[in-house]
Amino acid sequence: MIKRLILLIACFALALACASPEAPSSDTESQADSAPATDQVVNVYSARHYDTDEKLYAAFTDATGIDVEVTEADSAALLERLAREGDQSPADVFVAVDAGRLALADSRDIFQPTDSEILNQRVPENLRHPDGLWFGLTKRARVIVYAKDRVQPDEISNYEELADEKWRGRVVIRSSTNIYNQSLVAALIDALGEEATEAWCEGVVANFARTPQGGDRDQIRAIAAGEGDIGVVNTYYLGQMIASDEEADREAAAKVGIIFPNQGDRGTHVNIAGAGIIKSAPNQANAVKLLEFLTEEEAQRIFSDGNKEYPVVDGIAPPVELEPFGSFKDDPVNASVFGSNAQAALELMDRCGWR
């Protein structure tokens, strides 16, 4: 509390001090110089914005002496920047939070293949590119959540049933602008075909309790408050809410249960956060070291404990918060399908009016 008050005062004071017209400008300009091209650095373009990632990179620097320079931005913007920078780019590694994006990056031919025994052995085959262009680092399952007081867990057991008439006006989910929904639909197209998926999409849209809005946490909150009865969210959002400092978030999380869909057939849709090495990477060897480090137990633990994502590497415990929900079978389809079906998925959702 005192720390926060100090912060509050400090920001007032600083703002006042800097309001004078002659604020220094030259010293930040010098920071703009690109990172030194020694072999002691690796440049990461990342579309992940998690505080725990800083911990990961710091651990890597501790272990190897290699500095990690991170540029974070939205993945579309980063890809555009990479394309324009071309062979002059300082980037070594591109990190994204969705396989669809990695596939898109691949279609622009920005990655070089990496043949690392460590990576091939640790990362399951369906969660990496067949030629080693990118590798999954964490898993995130997209699951069905339900209001414990209004829905019995046996009332729904797979994604297909979200379109059932009995859920009319009861389903909450975020916008189709969201990449996680795009990838889910892309996976459904792979499993059911485009026509059946479109019919499914129309059913789901008819079942919406409200216009798709907010993020995954907002869907959990809406179910807890009674605005909808079932929803679709990524697992780590629930994990983070269970572990939250906010009492309201913990209470909301306690009111919902998880169903891992399609356990009877193909398995639950899982997506990955992953990374690949840039073709022109000036520090290629360091980049390989970084990817290998990120699949080591220490790093996988940070992903799991810090951000509540599922580790990709077998034998490392899932986040404590998600343990009560048990283990599950994931859909073994190769994640690159999310990229190749992305356009069809997007257009299909546009047609059936999924905002």
Partner 1 sequence: MKMAERTLDGGRLPLLFIGSVTALLVTPVLMIVLQAGADSGDQFRHLASTRLPDYVRNTLWLALGVASTTAVIGVGTAWLVTLLDFPGRSFFRWSLLLPLGIPTYLAAYAYTDLLQFSGPVQTFLRTTFEWTRDDYVFPQIRSLTGAIAILSLAYYPYVYLAARAAFIEQSVCVLEVGKTLGLGPWRRFFRIALPLAWPSVFAGLSLVVMETLAEFGAVDYFAVDTFATGIYRTFMSPVPHALTSAAQLSALLLLPILLLIAAEAFARRRARFFHTSVRYRAQPPERLRGWRAALAVTTCAVPILLGFLVPTVFFVRAHLRSGDSSSIAAFLERAQNSLVLATVASVLAVALALLVTFARRLEPSWANRFLTRIAGLGYAVPGGVIAIGVLIPLSWLDHKIGDLADSWLGISTGLLFTGTIVAVVYGYLTRVMAVSLNLVQAGLTRVQPSLDAAARTLGARPRGVLRRLHLPMLRGSLIAAGLLVFVDVIKELPATMIFRPAGFETLAVRVHELASQERLYEASTGALAIIVAGLIPVAILARTLDRARPGTDTDPDDIPIGAETVT
> What is the footprint of partner 1 within residues 175-234 (CB under 8 A)?
175, 177, 179, 182, 211-218, 221-222, 224-227
Q: 187 or 313, CB closer to partner 1?
A: 187
> Which of 36, 38, 39, 49 touches partner 1 by CB under 8 A?
49
Q: 268 or 336, CB closer to partner 1?
A: 336
State in angstroms the smallest separation of the CB of 25 from partner 1. Answer: 5
Q: Write out the binding residues for partner 1, residues 53-112 only, by CB under 8 A.
A: 69-78, 80-81, 84-86, 88-90, 98, 100-101, 103-104, 107
Q: 1 or 314, CB closer to partner 1?
A: 1
State in angstroms the smallest separation of the CB of 293 from partner 1. Answer: 19
Q: 21 or 326, CB closer to partner 1?
A: 21
Q: Measured between alpha carbons, how far is 171 from 94 in angstroms, rounded to an integer?
A: 35
Q: Measured between alpha carbons, how far is 77 from 188 in angstroms, rounded to an integer?
A: 27
- Kindly determine how many residues on this chain lie close enough to bind partner 1 according to the rule CB under 8 A: 84
User: Which range in 46-54, 160-168, 292-300, 317-325 contacts partner 1 by CB under 8 A?
Assistant: 46-54
Question: Beta partners for 41?
Answer: 67
Build a one-symbol-per-residue string for 323-342: x at contacts with partner 1 by CB under 8 A, - elsewhere: ----------------x--x
User: Which range in 13-21, 122-130, 138-146, 260-268 contacts partner 1 by CB under 8 A?
Assistant: 13-21
State in angstroms the smallest separation of the CB of 327 from partner 1. Answer: 26
Burial tier of 72 (Cβ tally within 10 Å: 0-12, 13-18, 19+)? middle
Applying CB under 8 A, does 40 fall inside the site for partner 1?
A: no
Identify which of 211, 264, 257 has the alpha carbon closest to the alpha carbon of residue 235.
257
Q: 102 or 294, CB closer to partner 1?
A: 102
Burial tier of 17 (Cβ tally within 10 Å: 0-12, 13-18, 19+)? exposed
State in angstroms the smallest separation of the CB of 71 from partner 1. Answer: 5
Q: 126 or 240, CB closer to partner 1?
A: 240
Q: 190 or 216, CB closer to partner 1?
A: 216
Q: Write out the binding residues for partner 1, residues 137-176 only, by CB under 8 A.
A: 175
State in angstroms the smallest separation of the CB of 115 from partner 1. Answer: 26
DSSP-derived pairing of the beta strands 67-72 and 230-234: unpaired
Q: Measured between alpha carbons, how far is 274 from 291 in angstroms, rounded to an integer?
A: 9
State in angstroms the smallest separation of the CB of 141 from partner 1. Answer: 18
State in angstroms the smallest separation of the CB of 192 from partner 1. Answer: 20
Q: 154 or 245, CB closer to partner 1?
A: 245
Q: 119 or 273, CB closer to partner 1?
A: 273
Q: Write out the binding residues for partner 1, residues 233-272 only, by CB under 8 A.
A: 237, 245-246, 252
State in angstroms the smallest separation of the CB of 339 from partner 1. Answer: 6
Applying CB under 8 A, does 4 fall inside the site for partner 1?
A: yes
Q: Measured between alpha carbons, how far is 136 from 143 in angstroms, rounded to an integer?
A: 19
